[in-house]
Amino acid sequence: MKIIVPMAGRGSRLRPHTLTVPKPLIPIAGKPIVQRLVEDIAKVAGEKIDEIAFIIGDFGPEVEASLIKIAEKLGAKGTVYTQDEPLGTAHAIKCAEASMQGDVVVAFADTLFKTDFILDKNSDGVIWVKKVEDPSAFGVVKLDDYGFITDFVEKPKEFVSDLAIIGIYYFNSAEKLMSEINHIMDNDIKFGGEYQLTTALENLRQKGAKFSLGKVDDWMDCGNKNATVETNGKVLEYERDNLSQYPASAKIENCMIIPPCFIGENVEIYNSKIGPGVSIGNNTKVINSNIDNSLIQENTVIDHGNLSNSMIGNSAQYFGVSREISLGDFSVLDFVSNKSNH
């Protein structure tokens, strides 16, 4: 089986954090979003993953290398394709056409999920869904009495169903999906100005393909700062038991740590209260601070921080007062001294 991961979006809703790091590589509880995604898919698939193909924008060679490493950690071959212009979800998959053989999972890389279902590979495809309160913001599916999908409806104005498509799909034949995508693009069939995967799904269904459901228990969005901080908190809660030990390289003195928290390698924390729901990346230093429900990346310094529901990037420096904040990579925010440098 292969996993196809379109992730070319610029992540504009999560700026400034995505100016330097693509959104799927932002760590949640110490592990990049996209790594969590493919590991969780591999568990649900219950079989060896042969290849993971990532479709990216112009993110540069460092990003490509880190994606290939993520694939190799799962024992899979990593392949990177580029989507030069955002022409829609179907077009993103078209960019990876050379990898589209056999059975595949297509997973758009800005969501995480929690589930314990095992993938049913007997149907032509499985659409992963989550029950939602307001379906009008999502693509939804309608079912027949046997649990097979009868309709795909994009952002319904009137109530059709409360089962939202979360952006993860299984296809037992990548070739059949590809032929529908090629048909859409050859005939310039667009929805909202883009080539949509849901159009290909609907065409396959009309030709007799049977799609079943994979219901997830939790669906976690990483679309913007608030959602990402909330997802970080949920993942920490799910992994609470694995996070009770902090690395030996961390120095924690005169501190109160309220679990669940993730603390990376070589972190230094002095005279501070941390948690619950805090992730602190490698080589970060926290002094005289009070931090809860926040995500702090690597190589960052926080001094006199009083932070809640906040997200701080890599190599940032924060010397300060209390507020809710989203501080990007390499930023310096200093409320304490008159000096510009520390």
Identify whether residues 190 and 321 lie together within a single domain: no
Identify whether residues 329 and 199 lie together within a single domain: no
* Token digits of residue 211: 């799609």
Q: Choose one of 166, 192, 223: the last residue of a domain.
A: 223
Identify whether residues 177 and 195 lie together within a single domain: yes
pLDDT at 323: 59
Instruction: Give the residue numbers spanning the domain of 96.
Output: 2-223
pLDDT at 341: 47
Residue 278, pLDDT > 50, answer yes
Q: What's the chain's length in residues?
A: 342
Residue 29, pLDDT > 90, answer yes
Identify whether residues 216 and 237 lie together within a single domain: no
Higher-confidence position of 225 and 67: 67
The pairs formed by 143-146 with CB atoms below 8 angstroms and a separation of 24 or more are 143/213
Identify whether residues 100 and 139 lie together within a single domain: yes
CATH of the domain at 323: 2.160.10.10
Residues in contact with 52: Cβ distance below 8 Å, sequence separation at least 6, in sequence order? 2, 3, 4, 5, 38, 67, 70, 71, 74, 76, 77, 78, 79
Question: Which helix (H) or strand (E) covers residue 231, if one does?
Answer: helix 225-238
pLDDT digits (tens, 9 = 90+) for 190-214: 988 999 998 999 999 999 999 999 9
Give residue 66's pLDDT band: very low, low, confident or very high (50, 70, 90).
very high
* Token digits of residue 144: 């027949």
178 with 92: CB under 8 angstroms? no
pLDDT at 235: 96
Identify whether residues 278 and 158 lie together within a single domain: no
Residue 37, pLDDT > 50, answer yes
Which range has the worst mean pLDDT, 17-26, 114-123, 170-179, 309-318? Answer: 17-26
Identify whether residues 214 and 242 lie together within a single domain: no
pLDDT digits (tens, 9 = 90+) for 130-146: 999 988 888 889 888 88
Tell me if 341 is assigned to some domain.
Answer: no
**Rounded distance between C-alpha atoms, residue 272 and residue 26, angstroms:** 25
Give residue 272's pLDDT band: very low, low, confident or very high (50, 70, 90).
very high
Residue 299, pLDDT > 90, answer yes
Identify whether residues 265 and 163 lie together within a single domain: no
- Number of domains making up the chain: 2
pTM for the complete prediction? 0.87
Residue 125, pLDDT > 50, answer yes
**Rounded distance between C-alpha atoms, residue 136 and residue 274, angstroms:** 38
CA distances from 38 to 24, 45, 143 (A): 11, 10, 28
Which range has the worst mean pLDDT, 17-21, 48-52, 288-292, 326-330? Answer: 17-21
Residue 100, pLDDT > 70, answer yes
CA distances from 200 to 8, 88, 100, 291, 306 (A): 20, 12, 15, 46, 49
Residue 342, pLDDT > 50, answer no
